[in-house]
Structure 1
Amino acid sequence: MTDWRAVLIGFLTATILGVLGLTLPGVGQLAAGLIGGFAAGYLAGGGLGRGFWHGLLAGALGGILVGLVIGLLVAVAGWVGGPAGGLATGIAGIGIVGASVLVAFLFALESALAGALGGLLNS
């Protein structure tokens, strides 16, 4: 059974550290995902599999949030650009969906690995 409290705490940890990590591009987001996934896995406990699952969920939520924010920013830019901007951002939207899926996958993967370690340490 999924411990949503652990997932939410891991997600919030990764999100807050990710925002703070903007001062260190790349490194800050990587560390945020690892720490958030570890927190979710550790709080859920129960071994590798359970920690992996909870870290995966925490990281995936973070990736989905980033994708939604990027999509919203592009949509607003298209709206401001008028009909030509709408067409350009509509075409770009296909790439944004692909990039969002990739970002969500990467966030989830690193968090899941750290979550497995956290779950192992709290088994």
Structure 2
Amino acid sequence: MTNWRAVIIGFLIATVLGLFGLVLPGLGQLAAGLVGGFVAGYLAGGGLGRGFWHGLLAGALGGIVGGLLVAIVVGLAGWTLGPVGGLISGAAGFGILALAIFISFVMALESAIAGALGGVLNPDRPGRSGRDPYR
């Protein structure tokens, strides 16, 4: 069962750190995805697979939101340039869609790997203590 609280917290951490990570383009977003995925996996607990799943969801959600933001910026830029800008941004939309999908996959994969590590390191995972990890 998915712990949506862990996914949302991981996503929010990745988003906030990603905004600060704009100072170091690329590297800042990479670090933000790793930290957000780790937090999602750690909060979910349950070992490698469960941490991987929750990190993957947090990263994918971040990638989707990032792709939508890029699409909005391009759409607004095309809108301000009038009809010709609309044609240009419409034609560029296919490339932007491909880029957004690629970014989503990268963010989801890196977050999933970090989430798997977080799930393994969670002291409340089953087998280590008598506490219920699904609370």
Q: Residue type of the partner of 1:27?
A: L
Find the aligned partners of 1:26 and 1:41 in 2 and give their Cα distance: 23
**Residue of structure 2 in register with 1:27 after alignment:** 27
Secondary structure of the residue that 2:46 maps to in structure 1? coil
**C-alpha deviation, 1:81, in angstroms:** 1.0
Find the aligned partners of 1:79 and 1:23 in 2 and give their Cα distance: 28
Residue identity over aligned pairs, in percent, reads 68
Q: TM-score, normalised by structure 1?
A: 0.98
**Residue of structure 1 in register with 2:16 after alignment:** 16
State the superposition RMSD in angstroms.
0.7
The superposition leaves residues 33-63 of structure 1 with CA deviations (integer Å, 9 ceiling, x where unpaired) of 0000000000000011100000000000111
**Residue of structure 1 in register with 2:128 after alignment:** none
Q: Which runs of 5+ in 2 are unaligned?
A: 126-135
Q: Residue type of the partner of 2:5?
A: R
Q: Which runs of 5+ in 1 are unaligned?
A: none
Q: Residue type of the partner of 2:113?
A: L
**Residue of structure 1 in register with 2:62 after alignment:** 62
Find the aligned partners of 2:26 and 2:96 in 1 and give their Cα distance: 19
Higher helix share: 1
Find the aligned partners of 2:98 and 2:24 in 1 and give their Cα distance: 25
Q: TM-score, normalised by structure 2?
A: 0.89
Secondary structure of the residue that 1:2 maps to in structure 2? coil
**C-alpha deviation, 1:108, in angstroms:** 0.3
**Residue of structure 2 in register with 1:78 after alignment:** 78
Find the aligned partners of 2:14 and 2:70 in 1 and give their Cα distance: 18
**C-alpha deviation, 1:118, in angstroms:** 0.3
- 1:98-117 to 2 correspondences below 5 Å: 98-117=98-117
Q: Residue type of the partner of 2:42?
A: Y
Larger Rg: 2
**C-alpha deviation, 1:27, in angstroms:** 1.7
- Figure out how many residues of one structure are paired with residues of the other and give that number: 123
Find the aligned partners of 1:43 and 1:10 in 2 and give their Cα distance: 9
- 1:28-47 to 2 correspondences below 5 Å: 28-47=28-47
